[in-house]
Amino acid sequence: MANSPCRADTAHVGEYTWMCPTELDRERLVATVHGVGRARAIMFVVLAAVVAGSAKDTGWWPFVALLGAAVGSIYLYRDLGRRRRPEYWALGGWLVTQLPLGVGIAITGGPRSPALSWLAIAVVSLVARFSRLTIRVGMCFLGLVLMAVTLAVDPAWTIAHPASTLITGGLLFSVWIFAEALLRSDLEHRDHDKVTGLPNQTKFVDHLHLALTRRERRGGTISVLAVDLDGFGLVNESLGPSTGDQLLRHTGARIARAAVSAEMVARRSADEFLILITDLHDSPTAPPQPWVSAERAPQDTAR
């Protein structure tokens, strides 16, 4: 039970979309887009410098395409959190960046373009923002873009010299698999306590910020409960760290079962647990379930 996802992670709502099936997915998407805003700006500046420096060989059309992508993405990402369907605007911002890139590759040689490998940048931004299903759809789209800028632009040269297309396709696939695995592994190790399997304080704080954002839009109440385990230091010293860890796992599982209606149960420190309870107006989730009593004999918990 300690490893079970929190309620907001699993509640599917009809008003949401296949890209963001839960409200928490939508909030994470918005937070991620805002979080990479500075990196996105630096990327555009670097690419603009590269394109301007290569204008003698490629012309200024790639620079025009890049400028259009920058302006379009700024408009689509602006006030993303206030959009009714922010995932569509975020996807539009991603697409408006990739389409000019494809045009730039096509007009600078297609399969012979030095910018062909730049499609890998699109993979990284795709993995960092969207859900797995959206990532797979986006990878299919990038595969079509790759075919369009190679086979469609110069089919004879592409068939006679398939190396550049195959290498770029392999690069896109490799970056996708590695970036997604790295991101998932980082989230699992960063967000969960190794002893109890519960979310840690970092995960709890991030989730609390998302809940506060939802409360600003919808109203309602948010409560945070702290549960301290008395006598844990004595158990740890007298019976050893292994027994102490076993006691923490047992206690964390019992709290998670008792707080089944809570949004999240997390471990804060050595002997302290946090419980997040939300009661937001017009909540799309199921009605809260009554708490289950976790009271048992002290010797049974110690066992």
Is the whole model's pTM more than 0.75, yes or no?
no
Asked if residue 171 and residue 56 are part of one domain, the reply reads yes
Among 143, 168, 191, give the residue marking a domain's end.
191
Joined tokens for residue 20: 């963001």
Joined tokens for residue 292: 């289950």
pLDDT of 14 reads 38
Number of domains in the chain: 2
CA distance 42 to 50: 12
Residues of the chain with pLDDT under 70: 1-15, 24, 185-190, 281-303
Among 147, 167, 191, give the residue marking a domain's end.
191
Asked if residue 229 and residue 271 are part of one domain, the reply reads yes
CATH number of the domain where residue 296 is located:
3.30.70.270
pLDDT of 168 reads 94
Which domain range does residue 226 map to?
A: 201-302
Residue with token string 């048992």: 296
Q: Is residue 27 part of a domain?
A: no
Q: Please, where are the H alpha helices in the chain?
A: 7-10, 23-35, 37-53, 55-58, 61-77, 86-107, 119-129, 132-150, 155-160, 163-191, 201-218, 232-239, 241-258, 298-302
Asked if residue 124 and residue 157 are part of one domain, the reply reads yes
Q: Please check whether residue 293 is in contact with residue 18, taking contact to mean a CB–CB distance below 8 angstroms.
A: no
Contacts 24+ apart (CB under 8 A), 153-160: 153/106, 153/110, 153/111, 154/110, 154/111, 154/112, 157/110, 157/111, 157/112, 158/110, 158/111
* Predicted confidence (pLDDT) per residue in 30-88, tens digit: 888 888 888 888 988 888 888 888 888 777 877 888 888 889 988 999 888 788 889 99
Asked if residue 174 and residue 81 are part of one domain, the reply reads yes
CA distance 24 to 18: 13
CA distance 273 to 262: 13
Asked if residue 180 and residue 57 are part of one domain, the reply reads yes
CA distance 241 to 35: 39
Asked if residue 205 and residue 167 are part of one domain, the reply reads no
Asked if residue 233 and residue 139 are part of one domain, the reply reads no
Q: Is residue 20 part of a domain?
A: no
pLDDT of 136 reads 92
Q: Is residue 43 part of a domain?
A: yes
Asked if residue 125 and residue 98 are part of one domain, the reply reads yes
Asked if residue 77 and residue 183 are part of one domain, the reply reads yes
CA distance 115 to 98: 12
Among 138, 173, 191, give the residue marking a domain's end.
191
CA distance 89 to 275: 33
Asked if residue 95 and residue 227 are part of one domain, the reply reads no
